[in-house]
Chain A
């Protein structure tokens, strides 16, 4: 859940109500609250208007910095935990092209790997 969504939820305010106060479209508020549009991707003025409409500092609406690979300021465990939360459990599910093809089911899909490779020379998982 985004910080904006948490504030709206906590105060029981609708997207439309905030939009009216901030002189923005309700759709803009929804996209920001759901995370469909990250709040750091819109104009600073837009964030300021929403903050003013909610009477909160701008900083309170900004999402925490995402962890980045190789961040030496964090331990490996902390970095990977933060990454899982940020990347694998992000607030809004955005459209993504499904890997499922329209083609008829593939019989090969149900074969276990050892049968699939049965007539090939053995491949060692580690040593090739």
Chain B
């Protein structure tokens, strides 16, 4: 079982922003009015959840902005943050957006399957970082040990939900940072991000399955890096898939 010291570290307002920082933020999502993600058309596998209690701002033509005010984890890589900071431009022109993942607390939600049935046992899998789309965040018995001036209250066990990635202003992150992740646990975050994007963008099961039984009519080498080669495959029905191969 992970201890607080293995996962979390203190940050002060003066510290540099870093991957793994946890901050209190307002996250905005635009959508059709009343739409419950994922939206069958976009993701039949139902992988993108909505945080349950957004504030809503109506837009014309049956659109709205759902705003979730919650804690979130910075997933933009630290070196990318540094690059933005060190770019040869005036500070107001920094690329000011950081990618964050909403943090979902056990006490605030009841995990359900796509069919709406309870999935309470799933916390064991989440604790083991088994799902590709979550990063487990263990409980903290006294948050004041990490945040000077905070009350001695507990932080519940929770997870960062990579399915809800969005961007926020870097200045907002600076203003309301709670704490950060230790370098060791940032490595675990990086592993989860690699797994998530591989699963989500490169190896969608539906894409692979739809190609089974098809004849490959085109193979275009895209780029090579070291002993790895990326190739775009085109099937006889016009569908395509990008694969990465490792030379042996």
Contacts and interface: CB of A to CB of B under 8 A. Distances in A.
Interface in A59-103: 66-70, 75-81, 83-85, 87-90, 93-101, 103
Give chain A's interface secondary structure class. Answer: loop
11 contacts: A76-B13, A84-B155, A85-B153, A95-B110, A96-B104, A96-B112, A97-B46, A97-B48, A97-B112, A125-B186, A125-B190
A10 interface: no
B85 interface: no
Given A77-B150, A84-B153, A100 B131 contact: yes
Q: Among B48, B69, B184, B188, which residue has the most Cβ atoms of chain A within 10 A?
A: B69
A57 interface: no
Q: Among A38, A66, A97, which residue has the most Cβ atoms of chain B within 10 A?
A: A97
B156 A116 contact: no
B126 A80 contact: no
A105 interface: yes
A93 B191 contact: no
Given A80-B150, A99-B122, A116-B194, 10 more contacts: A67-B24, A76-B147, A78-B150, A79-B24, A96-B104, A99-B161, A100-B125, A100-B130, A109-B132, A125-B78
Interface residues of A, number: 46
A108 interface: yes
Nearest to A124: B79
Nearest to B20: A125
B187 interface: yes
Contact of A80 (B82, B104, B125, B176): B176
B26 interface: yes
Given A75-B149, A87-B69, A98-B112, A123 B190 contact: yes
A126 interface: yes
A94 B129 contact: no
B191 A113 contact: yes
B214 interface: no
Nearest to B46: A97
Contacts of A77: 144, 147-151
Contacts of B132: 101, 106, 109
Q: Which 7 A-B pairs have the closest CB atoms?
A: A128-B79, A77-B149, A96-B109, A97-B49, A113-B187, A94-B52, A99-B134
